[in-house]
Every structure is written in C-alpha cells, then in structure tokens.
Structure 1
Amino acid sequence: MSRSSIHTNGIWFYDLRTNKHFTLKTRTLKEDDLKDFITCYNPENRHERKEAERFKYFTYDELIARDKASLDIFWLKDDSLDNLDELPPPDVLATEIIEHLEAALTSFRNVAAGLNSE
C-alpha cells in the first residue's frame, strides 16, 4: 500500500485495563472511571490532545511495524505481576473468574442464537 493512500497519520490509545480490574458484578465500570479518558480525549479540541500516563499516540509507521500490525498495545506496567503477595484473596479471584466465564458464556449464547436464526 502506498503511503499516499493512507488516510491517517496515527492513532490515540487510552489504556483503561491495566491495573483497573473491572468485573461485571463486584467492580463495575462507572462514569467516574471514564473522567480521565474524557479529559485526555479532549472532545472540544482534538488537535490539542497531549499524551498522559494512560493516553498515548502511536504513529502509522510505529503501528505498521508491529507484528501483523497488532493493535494489542501495552505500555503501562501491570502491578499485579510484580507482587504475588498482594493478589486479592482466592475467593475474590474465584468470583472474578466465574463472572468472566459467565459473561463469556452469555456472549457465546447470543452469538449461537444469532447463528440459529439466520
């Protein structure tokens, strides 16, 4: 693909997953959790956006150089990987795993139902 046919110079990413640990039941995403994103996104004037801890700009060349142009990008350090002694108690971890599995199962059931109705 020629560079002249590219219609973007880069992409802004906001990392809302690292060290946040949202769940569907016990730690749901709330409007307050999005305030930093809204500030960084700067909807009033997108040309004045600035990088921040969780908000980063990647150029087209940086993105295309990634293995298979993957957009699975991490730059923040996941604190939970450093100190295993600070992990939540096993019952909390088990509850979170169950919630994630139930959500995945519900999503898969919806996909399967959609396939059956076609």
Structure 2
Amino acid sequence: MGAFIWRPTIDYEDLVSRDKASLDIFWLRDESLEDAENLPALALILQEIMEDLEGALAQLREMAGDLGG
C-alpha cells in the first residue's frame, strides 16, 4: 500500500464563505453520566484509556512496519 498524503481540495476562503462552515469543536454531554456517583472508578477509567492508547500505538507500529519504518 502506498503512502497517502492528504491535501485540502478547498481553499480557506471558499470554506468560510459557505453557509455552514463552522469549525467550532464542542463536547457532547453524556446525560447518563450527569450524576458523579454513577461514574466508574478512576482506576477503571485510566485502565481503559491506557488500553485504548496501547492499541492505537500497536496499530501505528504495524503501519510503520508496513511502510518499512
């Protein structure tokens, strides 16, 4: 598989002139977690985050290997 380089196809002026060109980033509120007492233990949250990061790192290493890096 060859390297893929993304290049924007629309310049900035075209993008901001469009009707719905908002680039604002916002957080979606999870209504099920409004009560702090219903949150999982911090250690569990941290463990899940670390597992996700380790999985992502493994995927990146595999991609680098495929690219000969």
Normalising by structure 2, report the TM-score.
Answer: 0.50
Of Structure 1 and Structure 2, the greater strand share is in 1
Of Structure 1 and Structure 2, the greater helix share is in 2
